[in-house]
Amino acid sequence: MKIGVFDSGVGGLSVANAIRQALPNDEVILREDRKHVPYGTRKPAEIFKFVVPIFQELIDSGCQVIVVACNTVTTTLITDLRQKFNVPLIAIEPMVKPAAELSKTHIIAVCATLTTLASPRYAQLKQDYAGSTTVIEPDCSDWAAMIEEERINREAIKRMVEQVLVAGADVIVLACTHYHWIEAEINRLAKGRAVILQPEQATITQLKRELARLG
């Protein structure tokens, strides 16, 4: 079976690699929008115009399911995209629910783009699952560009980790797939003090269920 994976940039490669490892008998087709990356500071209507032709290309290539490996696209546009396209869309979104359930201090940190943080879907996730949890949202506004351009600022990463740990966070959510590429660095800095959550394995579980349904 052909599986499409979409992200604005290099974050999608991390997700696609994880899917290929988990499902070696399926074909994974990755599409990125490097021309317009990063999406995190753009308006949803502008992003919609970028992604529609790319999704259509994946469908025309024979993809029977598409993994939307972009929190920004999911939190702002997934309903519109599901209405537009007649294939299952597996959506990656901030892991607020599992983070709130896991936290013992009832303080979590969500690392995300500005557009994701401003989205109604993210607000709904916090309302539904983090009502009694303090959610810290550190400034990661330039991280996607930093990772895309391979100019990793380890001091900035260290400052963020220390900031949220001092504030009491014991779970850090990576709510942008670009950040998967610095997960090891964040894990090293937070080791023994906070759990790092990112959605690749949960996405694969959901994808397997959808593939079984499609037969």
Tell me which residues are annotated as active site: 70, 176
Cα–Cα distance measured from residue 103 to residue 84, given in angstroms and rounded to the nearest whole number: 37
Exposed e or buried b for every residue in 118-152, given b needs 16+ CB within 10 A?
ebebbeebbeebbeebebbbbebbbbbebbbeeee
Where would I find the H helices in 32-153?
44-60, 71-84, 96-102, 114-117, 120-129, 143-148
Determine if residue 165 is left, alpha or beta; phi over 0 gives left, psi from -120 to 50 gives alpha, anything else beta: alpha
For residues 130, 131, 132 and 134, what is the CA-based torsion angle, rounded to 10 degrees?
60
Cα–Cα distance measured from residue 201 to residue 17, given in angstroms and rounded to the nearest whole number: 12
